[in-house]
Amino acid sequence: MSVNNGGMQTSQDTAPNGTARASWERTNTMSNPSTPTKHLKSPKPQNAITIAVSSRVLFNMDKEQQIYEQKGMEDYLKYQIEHETEPFGPGPAFPFVKALEAVNTRLRELYPESEELFDVVLMTNNHAHVGLRLINTINHHRLFIERFCMTGGNSPIGYLKAYHTNLYLSADPMKVREALEEGIAAATMFNPPEKRTEVSETQLRVAFDGDAVLFSDESERIFKAHGLDKFFEHEKAHENTLLDHGPLKGFLESLGKLQKKFYAKGQRMDCPIRTYLVTARSAASSGTRALKTLRSWGLDTDEALFLAGAPKGPMLEKIRPHIFFDDQMFHVEGAAELGTVAAHVPYGVAQKRPQKKLAEENAKDSSAATK
């Protein structure tokens, strides 16, 4: 176990199955990816897997947000300029971004000329005056982030398609909903749990819920409207009917595409990307349809956990993903209670609430979201 530049506890001494392997021992450069001595060229957006992150999830900006809310924009900008040499601390997306860079390091070793890499874009509605502090923070943490979008108070949503965004992570639930409406994979991130689970420095681990995340919410609608027995009947009757895609299917597809590049070099067992399906579905009664759907898409996950309604938190605590995506807040909160960084995908029937209640939840989400 070691502590990286961002102060995040990480684990690098075990493979996913818990057994030590020599192949997982990396040099300091590999286990702690940083800005290299020679300048790396950013891939063209159309060739890259673009991850757009807001400054409030990449870094901890709680204090600055309080100044903005209590004293207004001018005092906020003044404070940022006066403290622009002081780097922000890591936010909930920080370990995820570091893991993306570790994957890129491996890809560049195997495919020096390829532009099929992760490309992180900092998306923020901050004023350009804050840009210097953000740049100083990125250099302090030795991150490779060359693309910024600072919109000076306007929503950055319109720029996501221009950047060919494959995933957008934000602290603002309204912006995330806007992105999903534009067909862009997106999720809301929150303040990291106090007791955060250690994560790997050498292997990116991403866990997905099934319904309303990888798949459509068709089956969840049956469950919500008619109960569990009707849900099981529906799944049995339609086990050979493929589910439609959900909002994060494309992101899993992008991860699978990069995994195959490692497989092609004989590195399936040493792949620095590992994916997980963590679903409340039961394996025997409703798992067949989910697995057949993934197979039909030419996709799979390295591990599939069918929990039959059991809590997801304990399983996620063992997986130690850098991020877990779920459409229901009680699963997100349950994961966070046990130390997993979880992101909410506000999509599907689970989000259908009376307008007043939905507004209250948005307000609660916003106050809980990282700054």
**Annotated active-site positions, please?**
209
In Å, how far from its chain's centre is CA 20? 27
Q: What is the DSSP letter of 272?
A: S
Residue length of the chain: 371
Tell me the CA end-to-end span of the chain in Å, nearest whole number: 28
Please answer whether residues 144 and 137 qualify as being in contact, where contact means their C-beta atoms are separated by less than 8 angstroms: no
Q: What gap in Å lies between CA 195 and CA 178, rounded to an integer?
A: 31
List C-alpha distances in Å: 277 to 27, 110, 118, 267.
30, 28, 22, 22
Residue 295 has phi, psi (to 5 degrees) of -60, -40
| DSSP-assigned states of every residue in 88-109 | PEE-TTHHHHHHHHHHHHHHHH
Interior CA angle at 305 toward 301 and 308, to 5°? Answer: 140
Mutual angle of helices 73-82 and 131-140, in 10-degree steps:
40
Give dist(CA 181, CA 263) in Å, integer: 34
